[in-house]
């Protein structure tokens, strides 16, 4: 089994129908998409071994879909990279994954000095599209399909190894639990295709649903709603902040918009109620992580109807094919309403972190994936997240690990100590707040960070303090700082 097979099916049954759209314009039919992917695959097989890691670094573009299927048809591994990362961070990922080629948009390619780059839509790309079509697909379901890079708590990204089987388990669970698309449906890619939206390519291609890429290459609420008016039976994956931005337009639900899957970060009950009041019962919630892509628990559409705040504030119940448990400190299942670490197992769970046996051993324990999230089950199996033991700040759907920002802040000569926490924010879900001991000014810190890490990770607020609260071991009491910013 190889994920390329899902495109084969769509092309065999619906060859003449529209497959890929840029805005409202049809670019390729399913037969054409298959042909383009196979030609690209031929060009890859000619130069790269089976199992080679091929990266994609680009804002949302139509070529991403054909490149993904080409990589799989060539028996290689796709490494999608968040296009908002700093070139230094991208270089770190390329190096860690041992990437032998990067497909980059013209904008991103500029920053990738020295890397083996093929510019999407460029002259070299056209040469590849003229290559003889070829398949060299690895049919072992356990073969690697996707290296999913998460921000590491230690500042170094870790590559979650996702196999064809993992992504097929995600695909089947999506079609079983959440959505039933067919050739008269569309998936609009508003969220980044390097993450959630890209992971959903497989289930929607399997059902030959249109793949629509906004011309803005990202998420513009008005453009997104206009596209919903144009394309049939629209589904999408959106971060909670994107849902809020759609609602904030004040426009009614486009009739064709039928499914909005939200997740990847907390959706506050109040925001969810407003969204349902504005758009109706079209919402589905997922709780997942790169290590168990899009698939740990979820709330289906009908679970949202007449639901209590407790249910709306939960992350739902175990997805099809996934076993979920909450373990106490001793590693035994916690009782009802008792908080512990959320763990899960099933075919969707990664096989480990690329080239990182230490992190793998700490995360895959006794057959369970330790999510690093804390939560509790109620008597009916609804899971509620209580806190994140990994301290990650989720701002506008992007994960920001405080340690990563702290390490760079500390590098500044006028910073003595730094501590970063998340503060609740109506617009972004959470924002990064940095507590600073030292004389560095806000402007100086901003400049310092801009040269070193991605723009979206910069603190939105700096608080200068004389000292950081610490316990008797000298460990900073982050909880106190979090209370302070609340
Ligand atoms: P990532 O690996 O980048 O997808 O981030 C995964 C993390 O996002 C999880 O471990 C959770 O902490 C958080 N997360 C995912 N889904 C939800 C959700 N529905 N509600 C709240 N937090 C979530």
pLDDT digits (tens, 9 = 90+) for 169-228: 999 999 999 999 999 999 999 999 999 999 999 999 999 999 999 999 999 999 999 999
CA of 264 to the centre of ligand 1 (A): 4
Structure tokens at 460: 């939105």
Q: Is the pLDDT of residue 266 over 80?
A: no
For the chain, what are the domain ranges? 4-383, 392-485
Any atom of ligand 1 within 6 Å of the Cβ of 287:
yes
Structure tokens at 360: 């793998």
Radius of gyration of the chain measured on its C-alpha atoms:
22
Of ligand 1's atoms, which has the minimum distance to the CA of residue 388? 12
Give the number of residues written for the chain. 486
d(CA 210, CA 236): 11
CA of 403 to the centre of ligand 1 (A): 18
Strand partners, 234: 186, 257
pLDDT digits (tens, 9 = 90+) for 141-170: 999 999 999 864 445 789 999 999 999 999
Hey, whose CA ends up nearest to atom 21 of ligand 1?
266
Question: What CATH number labels 392-485?
Answer: 3.30.300.30
In 10 A of CB 98, how many CB atoms? Answer: 12
Q: Is the pLDDT of residue 471 over 80?
A: no
CA of 294 to the centre of ligand 1 (A): 9
Any atom of ligand 1 within 6 Å of the Cβ of 263:
yes
CA of 8 to the centre of ligand 1 (A): 32
pLDDT digits (tens, 9 = 90+) for 374-400: 899 999 999 998 766 667 788 988 878
**CATH 3.40.50.12780 given to domain 4-383:** yes
In sequence order, the 6+-apart residues with CB closer than 8 A to the CB of 55 are: 78, 79, 80, 81, 93, 94, 97, 99, 101, 102, 103
In sequence order, the 6+-apart residues with CB closer than 8 A to the CB of 284 are: 178, 179, 259, 260, 261, 262, 298, 299, 300, 301
Longest dimension (CA), the chain: 69
CA of 289 to the centre of ligand 1 (A): 5
What pLDDT shows up at residue 475?
Answer: 62
d(CA 88, CA 77): 22
- 3 state SS of 379: coil
d(CA 149, CA 168): 19
DSSP strand pairing (283-289 vs 292-299): antiparallel
d(CA 409, CA 432): 13
Any atom of ligand 1 within 6 Å of the Cβ of 289:
yes
pLDDT digits (tens, 9 = 90+) for 9-23: 999 999 999 999 999
Any atom of ligand 1 within 6 Å of the Cβ of 244:
no
- Helices 4-14 & 63-73, crossing angle to 10 degrees? 110
What pLDDT shows up at residue 387?
Answer: 62
What pLDDT shows up at residue 470?
Answer: 76
pLDDT digits (tens, 9 = 90+) for 305-328: 999 999 999 999 999 999 999 999
Any atom of ligand 1 within 6 Å of the Cβ of 266:
yes
CA of 255 to the centre of ligand 1 (A): 29
Any atom of ligand 1 within 6 Å of the Cβ of 373:
yes
CA of 288 to the centre of ligand 1 (A): 6
In 10 A of CB 362, how many CB atoms? Answer: 12
pLDDT digits (tens, 9 = 90+) for 67-104: 999 999 999 999 999 998 999 889 999 999 999 999 99
Structure tokens at 24: 């409202």
Which of 288, 292, 318, 363, when mutated, tests ligand 1's pocket best, judged by the most ligand atoms within 8 Å of its CB?
A: 288
CA of 265 to the centre of ligand 1 (A): 5
d(CA 11, CA 208): 8
């Amino acid at each position: 089994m190889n994920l390329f097979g899902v495109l084969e099916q769509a092309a065999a049954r619906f060859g003449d129908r529209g497959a890929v759209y840029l805005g409202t314009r049809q670019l390729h039919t399913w037969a054409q998409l298959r042909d383009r992917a196979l030609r690209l695959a031929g060009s890859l097989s000619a130069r790269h071994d089976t199992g080679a890691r091929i990266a994609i670094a680009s804002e949302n573009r139509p070529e991403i879909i054909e490149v993904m299927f080409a990589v799989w048809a060539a028996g290689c591994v796709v490494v999608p990279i968040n296009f908002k990362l700093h070139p230094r961070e991208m270089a770190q990922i390329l190096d860690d994954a041992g990437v032998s080629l990067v497909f980059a948009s013209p904008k991103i390619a500029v920053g990738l000095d020295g890397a083996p780059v093929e510019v999407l839509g460029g002259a070299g790309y056209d040469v590849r599209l003229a290559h003889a079509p070829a398949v060299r697909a690895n049919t072992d379901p356990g073969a690697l399909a996707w290296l999913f890079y998460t921000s590491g708590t230690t500042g170094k990204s870790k590559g979650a190894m996702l196999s064809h089987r993992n992504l097929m388990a995600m695909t089947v669970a999506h079609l079983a639990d959440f959505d039933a698309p067919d050739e008269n449906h569309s998936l609009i890619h508003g969220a980044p295709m390097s993450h959630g939206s890209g992971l959903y390519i497989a289930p929607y291609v399997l059902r030959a649903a249109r793949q629509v890429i906004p011309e803005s290459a990202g998420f513009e609420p008005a453009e997104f709603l206009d596209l919903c008016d144009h394309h049939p039976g629209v589904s999408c994956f959106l971060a909670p902040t994107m849902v809020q931005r759609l609602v904030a337009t004040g426009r009614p639900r486009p009739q064709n918009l039928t499914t909005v899957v939200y997740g990847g970060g907390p959706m506050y009950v109040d925001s969810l109620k407003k969204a349902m009041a504005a758009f109706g019962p079209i919402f589905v919630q997922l709780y997942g992580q790169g290590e168990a892509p899009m698939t740990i628990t979820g709330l289906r559409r009908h679970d949202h109807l007449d639901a209590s705040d407790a249910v709306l504030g939960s992350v739902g119940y175990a997805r099809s094919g996934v076993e979920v448990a909450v373990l106490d400190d001793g590693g035994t299942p916690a009782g009802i309403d008792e908080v512990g670490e959320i763990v899960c197992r099933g075919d969707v769970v990664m096989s480990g972190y690329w080239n990182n046996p230490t992190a793998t051993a700490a995360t895959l324990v006794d057959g369970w994936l330790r999510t690093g999230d804390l939560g509790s089950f109620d008597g009916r199996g609804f899971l509620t997240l209580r806190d994140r033991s990994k301290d990650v700040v989720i701002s506008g759907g992007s994960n920001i690990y405080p340690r990563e920002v702290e390490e760079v802040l500390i590098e500044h000569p006028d910073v003595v100590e730094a501590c970063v926490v998340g503060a609740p924010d109506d617009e972004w879900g959470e924002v990064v707040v940095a507590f600073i001991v030292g004389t560095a000014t806000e402007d100086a810190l901003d400049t310092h960070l801009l040269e070193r890490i991605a723009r979206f990770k910069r603190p939105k607020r700096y608080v200068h303090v004389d000292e950081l609260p610490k316990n008797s071991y000298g460990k900073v009491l982050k909880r106190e700082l979090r209370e302070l910013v609340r």
